[in-house]
Structure 1
Amino acid sequence: MFYHNKSKFHPATFFLIGIPGLEDIHMWISLPFCSVYLLALLGNATILLVIKAEKTLREPMFYFLSILSTIDLALSTTSVPRMLGIFWFDAHEINFGACVAQMFLIHAFTGMEAEVLLSMAFDRYMAICAPLHYTAILTSQVLVGISMCIVIRPVLLTLPMIYLIYRLPFCQAHIIAHSYCEHMGIAKLSCANIRINAVYGLFVVSFFVLNLVLIGISYVYILRAVFSLPSHDARLKALSTCGSHVGVICVFYVPSVFSFLTHRFGHKIPGYIHILVANLYLIIPPSAKPIIYGVRTKQIRERVLHVFTKK
């Protein structure tokens, strides 16, 4: 069950419970989970295909949207199939290395989503507050640089978590009261002091908070610019271009903030509520974002309707 690695004992496998306390209804829980996962796959794949096929969708906003859809596909595929394996086939055991890899991917992709939302806020800021300089600033080279930052910063932030987990001895505990592997869920099984893990986890969360603050500041300037427009129609059009992005920000940050608060301070909330919220945080946003953009973005909506209505 255990092997020796530089004087640290690691279990060969972990045992993922699923949703503690709701084991008897795992099969019923799997039905909405599977449906939402399929919706996420279909919706994000559709967004990517529409952006690739439609020549008019070459603005930076749609470039960032395609990155967001790609990350959503990767994030949901990293987590949901493992959940469904637990619910359907009692596939509770996961290799130690695979568990750490899943932890890394989930945290890295989540960080990338936060970076994309910040980049999209900057895009909307430039489009509304400095429209004359929009194309001059957001050049192809700048977009490539932003894309590299979207990927590199979350990866660099998440990599130390791998070391922080591998340095811990796990003695006898190897049962994770969760349906996927995440940093503190693994660390809490250790028989050593995990204060460094907890502090680093809060350090990573601070970057999410910083991104949210920067997004908020950008929208303060956006709203100031919008409400200074002389035409009522112009104000409505400007607000409409930001509507889908604001909706996606809410879909991403509201569940994450709720999950963080219930985990840190909701000690009286049943454990299965914590796990359900954490699971929904990974599957609801990837499925909701394509719907929001599909409904509120005219070019995408018209292209999708054209595909499904043409003879």
Structure 2
Amino acid sequence: MSDLIVQQHGDVGVITLNRPNALNALSHAMVDGMTDALKAWADDDSIRCVLIDGAGERAFCAGGDIQAIYENGRKDPVGSLKFWRDEYQLNAMIANYKKPYIALMHGFTMGGGVGVSAHGSHRIVTDSSIISMPEVGIGFLPDVGGTWLLHNAPKGVGAYYGISGARMGPDDAIFLNFADAYVPQETFATIKDRLIKGADIDDLLAEVSQKPKSGEARLHQTAIACWFETDNVEQVLANIEADGSAFAQGALKLLKRQCPLSVKSTFYALQKAANFSSVEQSLQLELRFCAASLQGENFYEGIRAAIIDKDRNPQWAPASLAEVSDKMVKDMFAPLGDNELVF
């Protein structure tokens, strides 16, 4: 059976990510299939709205197929960069789609999964939803427009979740504007069928959405904002260490295991996003980082430690934040000339 199921049910275009054994990780073929479907439906008067969901109970989509990039990146950097280029074009298409784009974000929704859901017009979470941008932990940065989403989250909170890779529950995702509505699991399972039967998505959500239990982001937003009241990453860590609370100590533990170059690069990209007016500009910046990562070592080392050998002991280069210079960070975003991402 296909890894991507594209169907029309009545006046609803339905896209189902169908790799449940791989937590619906996105392959290049799946990205291309989604792009083709959305292009075809954009001007099709028989399509009222688009719904995207994921097969299986565990995940909507746990990210891009990073193992494929690990295996092919060094020997085919051009082909690997094309995957990201095509994926980012898809992310921008979703962000600008003229019809309702409804994402059912159950279970794990991470990295590339965020890119095909959180840019949509109607982002729905449920009890099982776990949303995160874990890329800094594998020597990368929050991409698929993640730096744009995180910059536009409440002050400091987006930076924390981006740099730490901390997981968001339903309320956290809504608070950070990665989702719009929470629907309890038993009702969440009926949304697709009710849409196909003709329900209007706004009327439906007004009827079935509820207020989720407050999450950590909302509860600790004041403290997090204080941690990030600085342009210096080392000072951020010092602020967290000085906090002394149990939440702060947990945050510090997360941050200290992250790739130092990725931490500073993400911080840089979030600062740049403050001057951007669209997700496309963040995607362009992120693609530059992708190109540099394919030529470096940290991304491959991060995937090795997390996915290949699973020893959870990456050897980062440089090994500490203090060793990461401003030049190293800026080099990760070097212009690509004729290879820049163009929309």
What TM-score bracket applies, with the shorter chain setting the length?
under 0.3
Larger Rg: 1
Please report the TM-score for the alignment, with normalisation by the length of structure 2.
Answer: 0.26
Compare relative contact order (CA 8 Å, sep 6+) and give the higher one, 1 or 2: 1
Please report the TM-score for the alignment, with normalisation by the length of structure 1.
Answer: 0.28
Question: Greater strand percent: which structure?
Answer: 2
